[in-house]
Structure 1
Amino acid sequence: MGLRGSKLPEANVILLGLDNAGKSTLLYRLKHNASASTVPTIGFNVAMLEAKKNRKNIAVTMWDVGGQDKMREHWKSFHQDAAAVVFVVDSSDRARMEEARRELEVTLRSEQLKGRSLILIANKQDVNGALTTTEIKDTFHLRKICSDRDWYVQPCSATTGFGVEEAFRRVVQLAKLPSESGAMKENIKDTVHYLKSTRRR
């Protein structure tokens, strides 16, 4: 039975990061457990995966959005309904760390991503000279920029498969399903407020 036929709780997860960070390779590895040589993503790739959260099956839709400069202005179109943000960093590309940090900071300022968990994937750990997760935490000032959300840094190599399964497990664990998110509570609060105000009239 495919995912289409089932009405599992759904989590939309956005996969962001600079071009050449390894997002598409990571997605391919998650879906097929194999390595693939990919070309830069123009637009986006999408994959649906099944997972277990709190002992229940859920459907996770991963949106891998292109990371080139001209694509980044479109990232915000994917913010709405995101259950978590996965930001992939090429740990071996020290020259672009600052650029990656700036893009992540801009993304996390989005009103639509308020309170959403961040899973930062420190990819390409198999490359000599790659920054460690501690160095990446410090470089990205994660304690400061993620003070109002859950976050986690996962070392990984999308080409060898190291850390990929753990990364996905962490994403599932930290993703906010619609039923768990504050949006639902807010709607209920608004409805209650509206009912009270109409009663007064």
Structure 2
Amino acid sequence: MGTLSSKAWYKRDARVVMMGLDFSGKSTILSKLKSNEPVKTSPTVGFNVASLETPGHLSLSLWDVGGQDKLRASWKDYLEDTDALIFVLDSADKTRLPEAMAELEKVLNNINMIGVPVLVLANKQELPGSLSLSELQKMLNLEQFGDRSWELRGCSAHNGKGIREALLALAELLKSQDKNSCECV
């Protein structure tokens, strides 16, 4: 167990962990995915978990892990047996972007994350002055993590734009991971 081949597509539920700094919009994204209704959220202490189904009929257990500074030390505890990571960035908060990038790098360097596909969601795209996807791609340098499939997508948890498309992108990342893991068997 614990090899890439154990992360098979036939798995009944893919385990997806969603991380990011506090106030990046993780819980709002989760509530949009669950009900497409706006929900007033407060900072997550610990985690929220929800079962979802992608448009391709893939069942997901989506773990929304709190992003407050004092909670990030426990992030490593959520990474074992992870099939995919969603990392949420506040694309309008340029001052915290270096902190977010450092945390993303820590997560991706965790032994449990080897080969795990990553969907980076640039949230709050509707806000004036938010960084574009091309600006973020240059700053994030995700190419340095060439041992995995990854995708950068823009979205707005506030108005829902890009959320469903992000779920489709996640399903594709999981499918590509399955193809890669089958080649290793």
* Cα 1:18/1:50, change in 2 over 3 Å: same
AA aligned to 1:76 is K
Aligned to 2:3: none
* Cα 1:178/1:119, change in 2 over 3 Å: closer
How far apart in 1 are the matches of 2:11 and 2:83? 15
Equivalences for residues 137-152 of structure 1 within 5 A: 137-144=137-144, 146-152=145-151
How far did residue 25 of structure 1 move? Answer: 0.2
Per the normalisation by structure 1, the TM-score is 0.81
In structure 2, list runs of 5 or more residues that go unmatched.
Answer: 1-9
Question: Residues 46 and 62 of structure 1 are in contact (CA less than 8 Å); yes or no, is this contact kept in structure 2?
Answer: yes
Equivalences for residues 14-25 of structure 1 within 5 A: 14-25=17-28
* Cα 1:138/1:185, change in 2 over 3 Å: closer
Aligned to 1:61: 61
Question: Residues 116 and 177 of structure 2 are in contact (CA less than 8 Å); yes or no, is this contact kept in structure 1?
Answer: no
Percent identity of the aligned residues? Answer: 39
Question: Root-mean-square deviation (CA), in Å?
Answer: 2.1
Question: Residues 85 and 119 of structure 1 are in contact (CA less than 8 Å); yes or no, is this contact kept in structure 2?
Answer: yes
Equivalences for residues 49-198 of structure 1 within 5 A: 49-53=52-56, 57-144=57-144, 146-175=145-174, 182=181
How far did residue 143 of structure 1 move? Answer: 1.4
In structure 1, list runs of 5 or more residues that go unmatched.
Answer: 1-6, 189-201
How far did residue 15 of structure 1 move? Answer: 0.2
